[in-house]
Amino acid sequence: MEWASWIGYLAACLTTLSFLPQAIKVIATRNTQGISGLMYVMFVCGLVMWLVYGVMIEDMAVSMANFLTLVFAMPILIIKLRRG
């Protein structure tokens, strides 16, 4: 595997995992007061588009990174929309 691929996979892992602490905190506290709802709606829409793109071009790294980030971001968005 080329260095560029390794860098891409590492970037995908770090970016994806960066949402895990926020998801854990929001799920545990149910507090989304400091989070922009509009930002998360836009972000989740972007993730869905990236996921579709990754599937269309058959790129596992793009697909998996965006799928996992979507899994971490959705609970935050759902709690934000329900609780304001």
Specify the CATH number for the domain of residue 16: 1.20.1280.290
Cα–Cα distance measured from residue 34 to residue 45, given in angstroms and rounded to the nearest whole number = 20
Q: What is the dihedral of CA 42, 48, 20, 14, to 10 degrees?
A: -100
Strand segments, DSSP code E, in the chain are none
Owning domain of residue 27: 3-83
pTM confidence score: 0.84
pLDDT score for 33: 92
With beta carbons less than 8 A apart as the criterion, state whether 13 and 29 touch.
no
Report how many domains make up the chain. Answer: 1
Q: Which structure tokens are listed for 11? A: 């970037």
* Tens-place pLDDT, residues 4-55: 888 988 998 999 999 899 999 999 999 999 999 999 999 999 999 999 999 9
Closest among 21, 20, 22, 31 to 69, alpha carbons compared = 20
pLDDT score for 57: 96
